[in-house]
Every structure is written in C-alpha cells, then in structure tokens.
Amino acid sequence: MTRVGTVMGSGVAAVACALFAAQHGPVRLCGRRDPRPRRSVESVPAATLTLLLELGVTPAELDVAELTHDRIVAWDSEPDRHAGPACAHVDRAALHAALWDRVVADPGITVTDRVDPAGAAPGWIDATGRRAVSALTTLRPPRTWTASTVTVGPARFDGRLRLAAAPDGYAYRLGSARWTTVGWVGPGRPPRDAAALRQRIDAAACGWLLDGCDLARAGPPDRRPAGASIPTPGGPATAIGDAALTRDALASQGVSMAISDACLVTDPAMARQAMAARMSDATARHIRHLAGMVAVCRYADTPTWAEYAAWLNELAAAQGTSIPHAPAAGARIAGKAAAT
C-alpha cells in the first residue's frame, strides 16, 4: 500500500492512524483537538491494549484497573450472567487525550486544523467519523436511533457490562475504575436530563441495571446518533473507523475496530485492494451479527425492532450480502459492549 502521508480527522481513529503512520515516515494530520472530549466508558477486547502499548499508551492511563470476563444480560430472557472474552473498560476521554499527547510529541507528525479533501495527496486516509468527508452518500436507518448517556462516579459494585432489551430500544451500563456510563439507545425523542433517563430506563423495566448507581448529580445526557450506517466511498481516499462503517454497539466495539483499522491501513505490506476487501467483509459480518442480535431479542416482534430488522435486510441487499435465518427461539446472547 502507498505510504500514508495524510490523515484527516481528529478522533481516536485519526490520531491512532497518524501515530502508526509516523513509524514509517512523516505524516500530516488534518484535524483539530477537542479541548474537552466527551467522557464515556467503553469496552474493548484485551488485545486492543496491546495495540495501544505499541503507541506508548498504558492501561493505567485509560482508567483500566482489571479485565472483565463476564457480563449481565437481559436480551432474550431475564437478567443472567454470561461468560465472554476478556475485555477492558476504558475511559474514552482519557484514551483520546493520551493519543493526542503522543501526536503532539511526535516530530514526524505535522498537525493542521484544515480538513480539505481536495488538497490531499492520493491515497489519503479518511478518519473523519460519521461525517465521512470522502463519501458520496451514506446509508442510514429510516429513523435515527440516538444514544443518550451520562457518566458518573463509580457505583458501589463492579463495572461489568449490564445490557437490557426493551420494546422500544435498549439500556446499558458499564464502568471503569473511576467512572460509570449509563445509556439509553432507541429512536424517538431522547431523554432531556438524567432524571428523564432514569425514568425511561425504569419504564422499560430495566431499572435493575441502575442498582447502586446514583444519577442525581449527573449533568444533561450526551447525545449522539446510534445504529449502523455505511458511507459509500468516493475518490482516492481509504476510509477507516466510522468513516467506513459506523457500527451499532450491539454487534461490535467501534473504538477497538478503529484502532485496528488504523494499524492495518498504515502497514506497508497491506495492499489497498486487500484493505478494501477486509472492510467489505467486516461490513457483511457486522450486518449479519447485528441481525442475529435483533432476531433473538425477546421484543423482536415490536414495531421498533421489526422496523430495524427490515432496515438491516435492506442494508444487506444493498451490500450484496445475505442474512441467515433467525436462530432458534431462546438462543443465548452474550452481548457485546454497548458504548461507542
């Protein structure tokens, strides 16, 4: 693959990509550092910590005290404990800050706040997130799903992921060493404040995941679009992270995949065609995995989930892939981290 000389974006994918690229030669990062990045706790596979160590970022900087190996999920049944692969719960704001600190200290990286695709050299990297400045169009659900989250001090017990399905969306919670993030994801009007967030979760009979978690001092929820969306690429750019595929947190961890993409796209041995094939395969697998999650949801027949399932079928058809038949009723769902 042509050596990466220009990376556009300012999020985790962009700054990680610039750092990996700088290991092979000078690189220009076109993006502006957010002085106050949004704090949230997100789950990444344990292997992601190894990639971050290559960039000099340690688990202690990310508020990771230990790995988690299980979670409590109420998706196809009542709340139950599920074992799973080892994961680390990281403070995303700390991750973003740590990566930017390395960028600023790296003499091989030139930072500019000008994001101009027209002025980029051939083979530049689009890591501009959901904006996807290189995309011609973007396929999105017919109704926007919104993730509303608050992050507060630690709960009285462990930070294991807790995930619960509801007729009109889902709720989740997970914690790092010092922080706990609670969220509601679904279409329709999002909760306006922490009290409304708690009411929404209680009304959905998911209040059990708030046990020991005090939202009284939480500020207004952070809101961001949720649900899978796929930009259609255009021009000479190679898109990574959300600019290539905005992942629904039900089926995959966006932060870990963004860092993995950043590492692979800067590898001189990775051909551009091979990277494109990897992205296409990742998209197909993500759609199939997400469809499987929706299919075994105990509320799959409600209008909200039926509409989302129909959208996934349309998305699969547009991508030239297929969704297998739904698993048998009562299939167990381990559930992956629900924070992007």
Q: List pLDDT tens digits, range 44-89.
A: 999 999 999 999 999 999 999 899 999 999 999 999 999 999 999 9
pLDDT band at 330; cut points 50, 70, 90: very low
Handedness of CA 233, 239, 245, 246 (dihedral sign): negative
Spacing of C-alpha 96 from chain mean position? 13
Mind listing the pLDDT tens digit for each residue in 263-304? 999 999 988 889 889 888 988 989 999 999 999 999 999 999
CB-count exposure of residue 137 (10 Å: 0-12, 13-18, 19+)? exposed
- pLDDT above 60 for 18: yes
pLDDT, mean over the chain: 89
Give all domains of the chain, ordered by start, each with its CATH number: 6-66+90-140+228-284 (3.50.50.60)
What is the chain's Cα-based Rg?
A: 20
Mind listing the pLDDT tens digit for each residue in 128-175? 999 899 898 888 888 889 999 999 987 777 899 999 999 999 999 999
Task: Compute the average pLDDT of residues 27-54.
Answer: 93
Cα dihedral 41→43→47→49 (10° resolution)? 0
Is the model more confident about 264 or about 37?
A: 264
- CB-CB contact of 27 with 109 (8 Å): yes
d(CA 67, CA 305): 32
Question: What confidence score (pLDDT) does residue 33 get?
Answer: 93
The residue among 338, 333, 308, 313 whose CA lies nearest residue 168 is 308
- CB-CB contact of 315 with 230 (8 Å): yes
Question: What confidence score (pLDDT) does residue 335 get?
Answer: 39
- pLDDT above 50 for 181: yes
Angle formed at CA 204 by CA 202 and CA 210, multiple of 5 degrees: 40
- pLDDT above 70 for 337: no
- CB-CB contact of 205 with 217 (8 Å): no
Percent of the chain with pLDDT over 90: 64
pLDDT band at 118; cut points 50, 70, 90: low
In this structure, the number of other CB atoms found within 10 A of the CB of residue 225 comes to 15
Task: Compute the average pLDDT of residues 244-256.
Answer: 85
Question: What confidence score (pLDDT) does residue 192 get?
Answer: 94
Task: Compute the average pLDDT of residues 298-319.
Answer: 92
- pLDDT above 60 for 327: no
- pLDDT above 80 for 188: yes
Question: What confidence score (pLDDT) does residue 220 get?
Answer: 92
- pLDDT above 70 for 332: no
Backbone angles phi, psi at 113, to 5 degrees: -90, 10
Is the model more confident about 207 or about 157?
A: 207
pLDDT band at 227; cut points 50, 70, 90: confident
pLDDT band at 339; cut points 50, 70, 90: very low
